[in-house]
Amino acid sequence: MRMRRAVISGSLIGVLVLALSAASAGAVAGSRPFGEVYPVASALCAKASAGTPPKRLEASRSQVSAACTTLSSEFTSLTSAVSAAETTYVDTRAAEHAKVTTVCPPASAAGRVTCRTTRLTAHATDASALLARHDAIVLYHTSLEANRVTFWATIHSLRGGAGIRADPPIPQPTPQQNPS
Q: What are the pLDDT digits (tens) for 14-30?
A: 433 333 333 334 568 88
d(CA 131, CA 90): 13
Q: Binning pLDDT at 50, 70 and 90, where does residue 112 land? A: confident
Q: Binning pLDDT at 50, 70 and 90, where does residue 13 land? A: very low
- Average pLDDT value for residue range 90-105: 91
Rounded to the nearest integer, the mean pLDDT of the chain is: 83
d(CA 67, CA 46): 12
- Average pLDDT value for residue range 125-150: 94
- Average pLDDT value for residue range 107-135: 87
**Res. 126: pLDDT tops 80:** yes
Supply the pLDDT for residue 114: 87
Q: pTM for the complete prediction?
A: 0.75
Q: Binning pLDDT at 50, 70 and 90, where does residue 106 land? A: confident
Contact 34, 42 (CB under 8 A): yes
